[in-house]
């Protein structure tokens, strides 16, 4: 791989990494503040409404942004058509939500969500008017602009929601805050990029063709991420759903966001390498190795510090969510790696059908595991079922990907083995320390556990790497830093 390609890929990953983590850091602060201003019941109402909205949205989504980014030698009319299709889709979704809202309220036994769904449907329409030039910039590998806009938009949303929450102290703060924020963010998108889209049907057929693969894929992706929330929302109280949803969101910050933060930057670069299988496989293997090495220790570490983490970040009223978090962290780690292996990478090189099939396979595994464990273990069984499905899916998808992309399955297994052993040692050390170290301040114990755990993991990982004969992997970067 020549240096310019490496530089572009690294630049894209770094920009998107910082962008998504800046957004998630703001989101974490937002959640921490709202957790003290609102109740689990408030979070549950918004979670149900968001679930219904996203479900209807995914049933019709074309995800034209991916098509815009992937397009080779586009003309302005193509980008205008993509913008037009996005608006039409959002208007269709808004109408469908208006009709579905009463039935959703009956299904979840929560009449308050009807009006929330209708108002949040308006947000979908507002967002669709954002400048398509933002995705044109991504196609041109201008990740800095993407970073500036999305971080700015998140700050605007944060300020808007918190301002309403301080005054209203109810779930309506989130609803009204989102409406005002998105109106402002649409204006910002046109300030930041000079492109001025207009309505067009120039490449409408191409968009529809792309949709034939992307709509089923998007539906399966949504259900993969939210089928457990559907089950909890159907069979548990609204406050329990609030606890579960906050647990899921917090876990995703420490798992999915670490891996998927790179996806936005990798997608344009994977598309650029689609015509060079050798370079693509080289980059793909390296990215997969890094993802595995990051996710596995985070799963083990999160499990070890979760009690103190919840108390420090959310407060005592959210400790009931711990029984969900311990299992969801396992699902989050394994599903993040699986998603990176089989989602955007396949779509970037034109394998939408294969990505679609793998997504539905993962969904089938999740449904079986969630329903079985829920039957025997009630609501906590939903989280356990998600964890089991994540592990099963990882190994099944690994075999398929190795065959499809002609990779060595043994190499994938070995990339998993080193961080797994190192993370297990890290977990044992943290638990051993906690039996002796007693502090009345959870934040002190949390800080010490994180420092000791990170140190133990890195040292153990490097020892295993040396024992295996220094194979290619993220350890090479650490070796350069540590001078081993």
Q: In this structure, what are the phi and psi dihedrals at residue 336, rounded to the nearest 5 degrees?
A: -65, -45
What sections of 314-408 are H helices per DSSP? 322-342, 344-348, 352-404
Q: What was the pLDDT predicted at 263?
A: 60
Q: What was the pLDDT predicted at 440?
A: 65
Asked if residue 229 lies in contact with residue 245, where contact means CB atoms within 8 angstroms, the answer is: yes
Q: What was the pLDDT predicted at 269?
A: 65
Q: What gap in Å lies between CA 182 and CA 159, rounded to an integer? A: 12
Q: What gap in Å lies between CA 76 and CA 136, rounded to an integer? A: 10
Q: What was the pLDDT predicted at 191?
A: 93
Q: Which residues of the chain have pLDDT under 50?
A: 1-3, 5-7, 10
For 432, half-sphere exposure in the C-beta direction (CA atoms, 13 angstrom radius) is 9
The reply to whether the predicted model has a pTM over 0.75 is no
DSSP letter at 130 equals S
Of 196, 153, 174, 179, the closest CA to residue 249 belongs to 174
Q: What was the pLDDT predicted at 380?
A: 92
DSSP letter at 318 equals G
Q: What gap in Å lies between CA 37 and CA 320, rounded to an integer? A: 18
Give the length of the chain.
Answer: 484
């Amino acid at each position: 791989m020549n240096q310019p390609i490496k530089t572009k890929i690294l630049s894209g990953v770094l920009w998107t990494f910082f962008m998504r983590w800046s957004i998630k850091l703001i989101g974490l602060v937002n959640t921490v503040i709202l957790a003290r201003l609102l109740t689990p019941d408030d979070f549950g109402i918004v979670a149900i409404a968001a679930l219904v909205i996203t479900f209807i949205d995914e049933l019709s989504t074309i995800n034209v942004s991916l098509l815009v980014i992937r397009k080779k030698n586009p003309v302005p009319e193509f980008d205008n058509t993509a913008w037009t299709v996005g608006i039409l889709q959002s208007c269709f979704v808004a109408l469908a939500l208006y009709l579905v809202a009463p039935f959703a309220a009956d299904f979840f036994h929560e009449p308050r969500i009807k009006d929330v769904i209708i108002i949040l449907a308006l947000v979908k329409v507002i967002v669709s008017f954002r400048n398509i030039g933002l995705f044109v910039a991504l196609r041109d590998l201008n990740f800095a602009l993407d970073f500036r806009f999305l971080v700015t938009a998140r700050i605007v949303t944060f300020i808007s929601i918190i301002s309403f929450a301080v005054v209203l102290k109810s779930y309506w703060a989130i609803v009204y805050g989102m409406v005002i924020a998105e109106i402002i963010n649409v204006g910002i998108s046109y300030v930041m990029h000079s492109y001025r889209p207009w309505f067009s049907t120039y490449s409408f057929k191409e968009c529809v063709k792309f949709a034939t693969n992307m709509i089923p894929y998007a539906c399966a992706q949504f259900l993969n991420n939210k089928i457990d929330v559907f089950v909890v929302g159907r069979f548990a109280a609204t406050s329990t759903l609030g606890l579960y949803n906050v647990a899921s969101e917090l876990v995703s910050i420490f798992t999915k966001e670490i891996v998927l933060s790179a996806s936005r930057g990798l997608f344009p670069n994977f598309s650029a390498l689609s015509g060079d299988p050798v370079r693509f496989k080289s980059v793909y293997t390296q990215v997969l190795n890094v993802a595995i090495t990051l996710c596995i220790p985070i799963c083990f570490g999160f499990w070890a510090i979760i009690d103190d983490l919840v108390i420090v970040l959310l407060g005592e009223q959210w400790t009931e969510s711990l029984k969900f978090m311990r299992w969801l962290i396992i699902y989050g780690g394994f599903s993040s790696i699986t998603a990176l292996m089989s989602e955007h990478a396949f779509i970037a090189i034109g394998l939408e059908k294969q990505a679609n099939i793998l997504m539905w396979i993962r969904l089938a595994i999740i449904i079986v595991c969630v329903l079985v464990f829920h039957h025997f273990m009630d609501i906590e069984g939903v989280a356990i079922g998600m964890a089991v499905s994540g592990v099963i899916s990882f190994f099944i998808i690994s075999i398929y990907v190795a065959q499809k992309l002609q990779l060595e399955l043994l190499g994938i297994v070995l990339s998993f083995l080193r961080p797994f052993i190192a993370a297990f040692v890290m977990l044992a050390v943290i638990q051993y320390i906690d039996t002796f170290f007693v502090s009345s301040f959870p934040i002190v114990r949390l800080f010490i556990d994180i420092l000791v755990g990170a140190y133990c993991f890195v040292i153990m990982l490097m020892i295993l790497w040396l024992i295996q004969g220094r194979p290619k992997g993220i350890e090479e970067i650490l070796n350069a830093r540590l001078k081993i």
